[in-house]
Structure 1
Amino acid sequence: MIDWLPRAYGLANITVLAMGVWAIAQRDSADAIFMFFVGLLLTVLTDILLFALYFAGAEKASESGPLRDLFRFSSGMGILSLLLKPLSCFFMYHMYRERGGEFFVNLGFITVSRDRSSYQSIDHVDPPADQDKLPSRAY
C-alpha cells in the first residue's frame, strides 16, 4: 500500500464529512452548517499544503513499479475532491443564509456585518425629545 499523504489528510476529511452529515441531519441549525462551512474552508487550505509538500516525493517514489497506477488514481481523486470543495463551500454558504445565519467579521477596525439593528433612517427628521418636555416660561 502506498501512503503518500499523512494521516492528517484522511482524518481532516473524515471529520468534515461527519460534520456534513450532522449539518444535514440538523435541518434547523445554522451553527451546524457554519461549522461544516468553516471545516471545508480549512480542509481546502490543508489539502493544498499537503499536496504541495508530499506530491513530488511520492511521484518520484512510484515512477516505476506496480503502485504507479494506484498513486495516479489516488492523487487524481484527491485533486478532484480539492476542486469540488469551493463549490461545496458556495452551497453551504447559501444554506447557512437560508437557515438564518448572519455573516459577521470583526478584525478590529474593519467590521463587515449584515446586522442592521442600529440603522437609523434619514428620510424624516424627528424633533429632539428634550424640547417637547420642557415647561414653557412666561416672562
Structure 2
Amino acid sequence: MNYMFPASYAWGNFSVLAVGIWAIVQRDSLDAITMFLFGLLLTVVTDIIHISLFYPSNKDLTDLKRFSVGMVIFSFLLKPVSCYLVYQMCRERGGDCTFNIDVSSAGRDRSTYEPIDQQDAPSQWPDSSRTAQQPY
C-alpha cells in the first residue's frame, strides 16, 4: 500500500497517545501530565512540518488520500484545544507547567558563589580580644 505520510508521523502521534494514557491512569503524577502537554506541543510543530512536506498534489489525490489528509488536518486543528485542556489538568494537579529558560540569570552572578580552594584556616590561637568568662 502506498502510504502518504512517513512512519515518523504515526510514531510521534502514537507515542504521545501512550504518554496520554499514562497521564490518565496515574492521576497523581505531575510528570506524566507535563510530558503529555509538551509532547502535544511538539506534535503540533511536527504535524505542520509533515503536512507541508508530504501533502500530495491534486492529480494524486484519491478518495482515500483525501479522507486521510482531512483526518490529519482535523487532528491538527483539535490539538490546540487538547493542549488547553491538558494544561488545565496540569494546573489542577498542582503543577506549574511552565517552560522557563532563565537567560538573564545565566550570566556571571557570583552572589551565591563560595570558593572552596581558599578556605579560611582556623586560627591556631584563641582570639585575645575575646576573654573567656570565668565560671562561678
**TM-score for both structures, normalised by structure 2:** 0.72
- Structure number having the greater strand percentage: 1
Matched, 1:83 2:77: yes
> How much is the aligned-residue C-alpha RMSD, in angstroms?
1.4
Identity of aligned residues (%): 50
Q: CA deviation at 1:26?
A: 0.4
Q: For residue 109 of structure 1, what is the aligned residue in structure 2? A: 104
Task: Give the structure 2 partner of residue 38 of structure 1.
Answer: 38
SS at match of 1:4: coil
Match of 2:115 in 1: none
Correspondence for 1:11? 11
Among 45, 57, 60, which residue is 1:59 paired with?
Answer: 57
Structure 1 residue ranges, 4+ long, deviating more than 4 angstroms after superposition = none
Residue of structure 2 equivalent to 1:72: 66
- Contact kept, 8 Å, 2:23 with 2:33, in 1: the verdict is yes
Q: Which ranges in structure 1 are unaligned for 5 or more consecutive residues?
A: 111-139
Distance change (3 Å), C-alpha of 1:49 and 1:92: same
Q: Which structure: larger Rg?
A: 2
Cα deviation per residue 1:49-100 (whole Å; 9 max; x = unaligned)?
A: 1100110xx234524xxxx000000000000000000000000001001001
**Number of residue equivalences:** 104
